[in-house]
Amino acid sequence: MFRSLPIVLGGLLLLSACAAPVGFEVRSAPADSSHQSAFDQGLVAGYWADTVETSSIDDNYASDWFGVKAKNAAKGQEVLPGDSSTDIGSGHKPVHESQVNDITDARAKLMGFFDRGARDIRPEWAAKAQVALDCWIEESTEVNSRGGILEVEDMNSCKNDFNAAMAKIEPFLPPLQAAEHLKMFELMPDQGAPPSPGMAGAPDTYLVFFDWNKSNLTPEALGIIRTAAANAKKATGAKVEVTGYADTSGPADYNLKLSKRRADAVKAELVRQGIAAKNITTAGKGETELLVQTPDGVREPQNRRAKIIIQIR
């Protein structure tokens, strides 16, 4: 009788090696993600927090769902948000029908923000928005015996977190001019392909934003400048123009000096990223040429910026 025990144990070990039991993901933490992008680091932190929280209430399917996402993000893999067809784990119902349309619209808006550079421009808030959307999705799959959403308050909390994060992203995104340009060419395919950044005559433009009354570069700004520098180095002889701006709060003469300091800060980082200083020109426009028109004395985040234009000669 006892001689068969090793065989039984061996079979159990083999089974566990082939398929981890439900709730297993929380037992090992994600890999070190400090070398990943700020966006991926934000995903790791957010998803892992949800992994631990759902595990603490024995919601093992949800814990595994969040845990896998955290670990994949830690590896630098692309992790996309769920959608209205998500079914989390065996025995879990899909997204509640009352939430399908709202979640579909929310995901489409988030992916649109990603297309406009949100992962690089506002990485921490972009990650918070994605994690909150998946939290919203997960909560909407939990139903009570009457078929209603089990924890409406928890679901609405996730939904509110999503909307709050999106509000922190939207003011910093560039306009949709590029997307509209590409759509026009899709409608008129006989015109040929539109010029892409890096081709002669097609300037590549980036916006870097600053905190109020500051000229130091935020983590988001550094990410944008790194991207701009990498693209500038792809072509020989690229010329870079950096123009600084300020909002209307404070005296005009002070804002002019502040805008020049912002341009100089961007130039210094471009040089650190390998762009020759002789190929970079700077200017400060103060509180003129506002991106968002405001009265005097208004603090407006989108007006506290520097514009980088890369021109391929």
Q: What is the mean pLDDT of the chain?
A: 82
Radius of gyration in angstroms for the set of CA atoms belonging to the chain, rounded to a whole number: 25
Q: How confident is the model at residue 87 (pLDDT cuts 50, 70, 90)?
A: confident
Q: In the prediction, which pLDDT does 235 show?
A: 75
Q: In the prediction, which pLDDT does 8 show?
A: 40
- The larger pLDDT score, comparing residue 175 to residue 143, is at 143
Q: What is the mean pLDDT of residues 221-238?
A: 84
- For 184-202, write each residue's pLDDT tens digit: 434 444 444 444 444 444 4
Q: Which two tokens stand for residue 166?
A: 């999106």
Flag the least confident range among 41-50, 101-110, 147-156, 203-212.
Answer: 203-212
pTM over 0.75: no
- For 96-121, write each residue's pLDDT tens digit: 999 999 999 899 999 989 988 899 88
Q: In the prediction, which pLDDT does 1 show?
A: 38
Q: In the prediction, which pLDDT does 284 show?
A: 95
Terminal-to-terminal C-alpha distance of the chain: 84
Q: In the prediction, which pLDDT does 90 show?
A: 60
- For 4-15, write each residue's pLDDT tens digit: 434 444 444 444
Percentage of the chain exceeding pLDDT 70: 82
Phi then psi for residue 280, to 5 deg, are -120, 125
With contact defined as beta carbons under 8 Å apart, do 264 and 171 qualify?
A: no
pLDDT at 203 > cutoff 80: no
CA–CA separation, 187 and 183 (whole Å)? 6
Measured CA distances, 211 to 9, 126, 171, 172, 299 (Å):
61, 18, 13, 12, 10
Q: In the prediction, which pLDDT does 72 show?
A: 95
Q: What is residue 175's DSSP assignment? A: P
CA–CA separation, 16 and 121 (whole Å)? 42
Which of 294, 115, 301 lies closest to 213 in space, CA to CA? 301
Measured CA distances, 31 to 21, 118, 127, 272 (Å):
20, 24, 18, 30
With contact defined as beta carbons under 8 Å apart, do 166 and 129 qualify?
A: yes
> Maximum distance among all alpha carbons in the chain?
92
Q: How confident is the model at residue 53 (pLDDT cuts 50, 70, 90)?
A: very high
Q: In the prediction, which pLDDT does 271 show?
A: 93
Q: What is residue 83's DSSP assignment? A: -
Measured CA distances, 41 to 19, 32, 38, 70 (Å):
27, 9, 5, 9
Q: Would the CA dihedral through 210, 214, 215, 220 be positive or negative?
A: negative
With contact defined as beta carbons under 8 Å apart, do 209 and 172 qualify?
A: yes
Amino acid at 290: L
pLDDT at 31 > cutoff 80: yes
Q: Would the CA dihedral through 246, 197, 233, 235 be positive or negative?
A: negative
Which of 161, 190, 306 lies closest to 243 in space, CA to CA? 306
**What is residue 35's three-state secondary structure?**
coil
Flag the least confident range among 9-23, 132-146, 199-213.
Answer: 9-23
Q: What is residue 189's DSSP assignment? A: G
pLDDT at 264 > cutoff 90: yes
* CB-count burial class (<10 Å; 0-12, 13-18, 19+) for 50: buried
CA–CA separation, 48 and 56 (whole Å)? 12
* DSSP code string of 268-302: HHHHHTT--GGGEEEEE-TTSS-SS---TT---GG
Question: What are the E-state strand segments in the chain?
Answer: 204-209, 239-244, 280-284, 305-311
